[in-house]
Amino acid sequence: MNAIDELAAVQGVAYMDGRYMPLAEASIPILDRGFLRSDITYDALHVWKGRIFRLADHIARFRASMAGLRMSLPHTDGELAEVLMECVRRTGYRDAFIMVMCSRGVQPPGTRDPRLCRNRLYAYVQPFLWIANEEQRRDGLRMVLAKTQRIPPESLDQRIKNFHWLDLTMSLFEAYDRDATVTVLPLADGTVTEGPGFNIFIVKDGALATPDRGMFEGITRRTVTEIAADLQLRCEVRPVRAEEVAEADEIFTSTTAGGITPVTWYEGRKLGDGRPGPITTRILDLYWKRHEDDALNTPVRYDD
């Protein structure tokens, strides 16, 4: 990536521990434990057509992640929302991706005691991100079951959003080595968890299932379960075994970065006729319809 490409990749606005600035100028101290130890939590939101989707739900989940890591910030929920709103307003973006982070902070010299750190608030906004390109969204992802196991919930509660991505990252190399796009990671007991940056749903005989353990509980995942209830489709949140994924009629992913993405190829075989399935397509359409619901969307106060 050349200098021009790097500049284009960091267009946006950041909030760094009390200051707004261009995203290209944002940095954290090299001694921040968020950098040194992945001692940080975050949440990812998006703006669609000038409105932040499920802002209150994201802030509540961000609070829960901070509590799980014994972090705290002096900001009220309203103040957190205002920081994110101001970042979006300064960009002018109508479709955007938002990251909000709480880092443990910089520890005093001569100690590793995390209690002595002042926790820091970071955030940034950039143009909307898609986890898949246009062709993949249209034709579907190619997925394999990773040999790399997900870090077990007994070691780290995966409901706490975190930047410890090495298991997820190494699984991606497996996907690329096997002519696939993405992976789903298993646990030692033979159940599956999630993929790099997304939850997974399977469809079998008209019923949906999504894993209940060892994965992050996504807001998009929650939205899918609500849509399924509206459609009177059975949707089970439970252990999902790897064999069930292999036998599924349809598979799709859910994530803030792009919503619902079909999987049309799994472990070397096409799913159905190799095109996005009817239930996946219906849920995808209704997911974007949710972005027209005033109860779920918070308008951004732009200058114009």
Q: 167-225: per-residue pLDDT in tens?
A: 999 999 999 999 999 999 999 999 999 999 999 999 999 999 999 999 999 999 999 99
pLDDT at 4: 47
Same domain as 138, residue 122: no
- 301 domain-assigned: no
Mean pLDDT in residue range 255-268:
96
Give me the number of domains the chain comprises: 2
For residue 303, what pLDDT band results from cuts at 50, 70 and 90?
confident
- 180 domain-assigned: yes
* Percentage of the chain modeled with pLDDT above 90: 95
Same domain as 268, residue 157: yes
Same domain as 211, residue 113: no
* Percentage of the chain modeled with pLDDT above 70: 96
Residue 70 has pLDDT above 60, yes or no: yes
Same domain as 149, residue 282: yes
Same domain as 165, residue 63: no
Residue 245 has pLDDT above 90, yes or no: yes
Mean pLDDT in residue range 255-260:
95
Residue 8 has pLDDT above 90, yes or no: no
Residue 227 has pLDDT above 90, yes or no: yes
Quote the mean pLDDT of the chain. 95
- 299 domain-assigned: no
- 166 domain-assigned: yes
Same domain as 278, residue 142: yes
pLDDT at 2: 54
- 58 domain-assigned: yes
Q: What pTM, to 2 d.p., does this model score?
A: 0.93
Same domain as 236, residue 144: yes
Same domain as 108, residue 170: no
Same domain as 191, residue 105: no
Residue 6 has pLDDT above 90, yes or no: no
**CA pair distance 6, 10, nearest whole angstrom:** 7
Out of 92, 127, 162, pick the residue that ends a domain.
Answer: 127
Mean pLDDT in residue range 142-149:
98
Out of 103, 127, 151, pick the residue that ends a domain.
Answer: 127
Same domain as 78, residue 14: yes
Same domain as 154, residue 88: no
Mean pLDDT in residue range 132-145:
96
Out of 127, 147, 177, pick the residue that ends a domain.
Answer: 127
Mean pLDDT in residue range 37-44:
97
- 14 domain-assigned: yes
Same domain as 239, residue 92: no
Domain that holds residue 42: 3-127
CATH number for the domain harbouring residue 74 = 3.30.470.10
- 303 domain-assigned: no
- 30 domain-assigned: yes
CATH number for the domain harbouring residue 169 = 3.20.10.10
Residue 9 has pLDDT above 60, yes or no: no
